[in-house]
């Protein structure tokens, strides 16, 4: 079966942990704001969280385990066919090899498949539910996150219409690092749209298929609450000053 592979991307890079810059741009993104944001989380009906004991039975690193689930979900959403677990393992291994601490398995055990399949089905159901509410919008896979200065370009997870969608398979609530990541994604995209006059994202939807948790946030409101300036242009100029003037046009 053909398996369309999305671009290789690294969720731990692309402006997630830029020393100094993120603190300058988003100094108000503290524990109080994070807690207030997480208080607005919601869940999807008909979806169950993955039991911790099921995850504990797998010997795979969590990063690999849920990378498998992403590959599986992407194949179903993109190709309308479910890729084999062998194909999913090939793609997940390719992505995880970018991490120095990744442990690549030779094969999958049934305990691995059970978790990855549960997470995959949850993610597909979540995205289909969101898309059903925006019937005219197309699900975009791996939306481009443009580079700027010495920040390399990369890809997000998904987008539907004007909503950026980021997937986090975490056992905790969404954290400050998650919010900084999507805020930087928005700023980098905004920098490019000024040149191209393209549309920008108005909202971000954080999804956690592991816990059946989600959070929808308006970018303007998040920027105003977390950033050093509520003015988009001023914030972009602050970013440009921090990273240099030349765009990465890859």
pLDDT of 147: 87
CA distance 114 to 164: 28
The token pair at 104 is 């690549």
pLDDT of 73: 97
Nearest Cα neighbor of 6 from 140, 117, 98 is: 140
pLDDT of 201: 95
Sequence-ordered list of residues with C-beta below 8 angstroms from that of 85, at least 6 positions apart, any chain: 68, 72, 108, 113, 116
Nearest Cα neighbor of 185 from 22, 2, 8 is: 22
Per the structure, the complete domain to which residue 113 belongs is given by 21-243
Residue 127 falls within a domain, yes or no? yes
Q: How far is CA 190 from the centre of its chain?
A: 17
Residue 76 falls within a domain, yes or no? yes
pLDDT of 229: 80
CA distance 85 to 110: 11
Angle in degrees, 0-180, between the axes of helices 110-132 and 62-79, rounded to the nearest 10: 50
Per DSSP, the three-state class of 164 is strand
Residue whose tokens read 């503290």:
30
pLDDT of 244: 66
Task: Indicate the helix (H) or strand (E) that contains 214.
Answer: strand 213-218
pLDDT of 1: 35
Residue 2 falls within a domain, yes or no? no
Please, where are the H alpha helices in 133-175? none
Residue 197 falls within a domain, yes or no? yes
Residue whose tokens read 């930087």:
184
Side by side, the strands of the sheet bearing 163-167 are 139-141, 158-160, 163-167, 203-208, 213-218
Residue 6 falls within a domain, yes or no? no
pLDDT of 74: 96
Residue 13 falls within a domain, yes or no? no
Strands 163-167 and 203-208: parallel
pLDDT of 8: 42
Q: Which residues of the chain have pLDDT under 70?
A: 1-19, 244-250
Q: Do 5 and 91 contact (CB within 8 A), yes or no?
A: yes
How many folded domains does the chain comprise? 1
Residue 198 falls within a domain, yes or no? yes
Q: How much is the pTM?
A: 0.89
CA distance 222 to 227: 8
pLDDT of 248: 41
Residue 250 falls within a domain, yes or no? no
């Amino acid at each position: 079966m053909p398996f369309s592979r999305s671009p290789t991307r690294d969720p731990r890079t692309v402006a997630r942990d830029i020393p100094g810059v993120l603190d300058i741009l988003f100094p108000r993104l503290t524990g109080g704001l994070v807690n207030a944001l997480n208080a607005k989380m919601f869940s999807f009906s008909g979806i169950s969280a993955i039991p911790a004991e099921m995850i504990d039975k797998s010997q795979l690193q969590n990063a690999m385990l849920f990378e498998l689930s992403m590959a599986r979900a992407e194949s179903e959403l993109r190709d309308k066919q479910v890729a084999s677990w062998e194909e999913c393992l090939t793609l997940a291994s390719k992505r995880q090899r970018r991490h120095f601490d990744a442990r690549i398995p030779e094969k999958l055990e049934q305990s691995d498949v059970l978790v990855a399949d549960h997470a995959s089905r949850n993610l597909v159901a979540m995205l289909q539910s969101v898309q059903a509410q925006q019937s005219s919008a197309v699900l975009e896979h791996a939306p481009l996150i443009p580079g700027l200065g010495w920040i390399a370009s990369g890809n997000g997870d998904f987008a539907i219409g004007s909503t950026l969608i980021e997937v986090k398979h975490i056992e905790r609530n969404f954290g400050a690092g998650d919010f900084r990541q999507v805020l930087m994604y928005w700023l980098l995209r905004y920098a490019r749209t000024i040149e191209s006059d393209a549309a920008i994202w108005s909202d971000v939807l954080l999804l956690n298929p592991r816990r059946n948790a989600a959070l929808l946030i308006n970018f303007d409101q998040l920027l105003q609450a977390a950033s050093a300036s509520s003015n988009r242009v001023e914030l972009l100029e602050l970013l440009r000053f921090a990273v240099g003037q030349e765009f990465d046009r890859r």
